[in-house]
């Protein structure tokens, strides 16, 4: 399969794909949403280890979710750092131009400062606070930020540091961040994780469990985590535990001072 290059892998597909069941002459339509993918398997001058199964993971995620929803773009991480920021003019490719963004690359965290995602370009990383991520505030407005990348949701240093790294990103109205509190692996047994995640979303699992189940693996010890916000502890837990791909739009966007609580769930060695 052709890999994403420095042009659109796919333009927005405007034809509606309806998932419908006819009951007594009444058609029930699955609510559709837009999604995009940013992924990388190799890195300039081999500055980071290759992730050879990244293309399968992202290709198959797209192929599955596109059966029910609207696939806007599949792009590699060549010069892609700005696509993660609050970029309303990113030619239809930025994080805020879709409801769900799926990324596969190396990840990490820096003290109280930044979540970081590795770009193809040597020594370049997209960083949450350095690059002023404020997601959910422009264009389509991102709701679900899914990162198949290590340590993007780590709290090994402290829960306060986790919040500090993500605070600015959520202040734009992002509803959920999905990632790992430690390691996610690239192997022949995890190449289907993207497809499994998409399938779980389509089946109506909560976003939390779609991520947990989708990234579980019999051979690799996957460490998965989700993070959400709320107006209170109970509100946060309700959002984290009941939000689905079909109902996420019914949850109020919380911006700036509306965010009073952060809550997370994780699984070790899934």
Give the tens place of pLDDT for each residue, 218-252: 999 999 999 999 999 999 999 999 999 999 999 99
Report percent pLDDT > 70 for the chain.
86
Give the tens place of pLDDT for each residue, 84-118: 986 655 666 789 999 999 999 999 999 899 999 99
Q: How far apart are CA 132 and CA 1, in angstroms?
A: 34
- Mean pLDDT, residues 23-27 taken together: 38
Report residue 9's pLDDT band, with 50, 70 and 90 as the boundaries: very low
Residue tagged 């020594």 (tokens): 123
Using the predicted structure, report yes or no on whether residue 145 has a pLDDT greater than 80: yes
Using the predicted structure, report yes or no on whether residue 256 has a pLDDT greater than 70: yes
Q: How far apart are CA 65 and CA 197, in angstroms?
A: 9
* CA distance to 25, 170, 225, 250, per residue, from 198 (Å): 29, 23, 17, 20
* CA distance to 26, 164, 169, 197, per residue, from 110 (Å): 53, 10, 15, 27
- Identify whether the C-beta of residue 118 lies closer than 8 Å to the C-beta of residue 43: yes
Mean pLDDT of the chain: 89
Q: What is the pLDDT of residue 88?
A: 56
Report residue 257's pLDDT band, with 50, 70 and 90 as the boundaries: very high
Report residue 17's pLDDT band, with 50, 70 and 90 as the boundaries: very low
Domains of the chain, each with CATH number or no CATH:
20-267 (3.40.50)
Using the predicted structure, report yes or no on whether residue 14 has a pLDDT greater than 70: no
Q: What is the pLDDT of residue 5?
A: 52
Nearest to 76 by CA among 5, 147, 148: 5
Residue tagged 């739009």 (tokens): 249
Burial class (CB in 10 A: 0-12, 13-18, 19+), 21: exposed
Q: What is the pLDDT of residue 93?
A: 78
Report percent pLDDT > 90 for the chain.
82
Q: DSSP string spanning 212-259?
A: HHHT--SSS---EEEEEEESSHHHHHHHHHH-BTTTGGGSPP--GGG-
* Region for 123 from its dihedrals, namely left if φ exceeds 0, alpha if ψ lies in -120 to 50, beta otherwise: left
DSSP letter, residue 206: B
Q: What is the pLDDT of residue 270?
A: 80
Using the predicted structure, report yes or no on whether residue 147 has a pLDDT greater than 50: yes
Q: What is the pTM of this model?
A: 0.89
């Amino acid at each position: 399969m052709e890999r994403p290059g420095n042009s659109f892998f796919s333009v927005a597909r405007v034809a509606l794909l309806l998932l419908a069941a006819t009951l007594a002459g009444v058609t029930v339509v699955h609510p559709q949403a837009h999604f995009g993918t940013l992924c990388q398997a190799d890195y300039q001058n081999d500055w980071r280890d290759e992730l050879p199964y990244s293309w399968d993971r992202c290709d198959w995620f797209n192929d599955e979710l596109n059966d029910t929803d609207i696939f806007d773009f599949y792009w590699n991480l060549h010069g892609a750092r700005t696509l993660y920021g609050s970029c309303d003019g990113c030619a239809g490719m930025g994080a805020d131009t879709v409801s769900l963004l799926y990324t596969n690359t190396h990840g990490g965290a820096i003290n109280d400062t930044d979540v970081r995602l590795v770009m193809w370009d040597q020594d370049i990383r997209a960083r949450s606070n350095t690059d002023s991520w404020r997601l959910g505030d422009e264009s389509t407005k991102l709701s679900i930020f899914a990162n198949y990348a290590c340590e993007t949701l780590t709290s090994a240093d402290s829960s306060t540091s986790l919040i500090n790294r993500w605070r600015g990103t959520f202040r734009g109205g992002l509803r959920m961040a999905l990632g790992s509190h430690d390691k996610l692996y690239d192997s022949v047994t995890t190449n289907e994780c993207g497809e499994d995640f998409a399938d779980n979303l389509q089946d109506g699992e909560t976003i939390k469990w779609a991520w947990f189940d989708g990234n579980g693996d019999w051979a690799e010890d996957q460490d998965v985590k989700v993070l959400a916000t709320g107006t209170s502890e109970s509100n946060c837990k309700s959002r984290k535990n009941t939000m689905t791909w079909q109902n996420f739009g019914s949850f109020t966007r919380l911006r700036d001072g509306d965010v009073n609580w952060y809550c997370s769930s994780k699984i070790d060695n899934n």
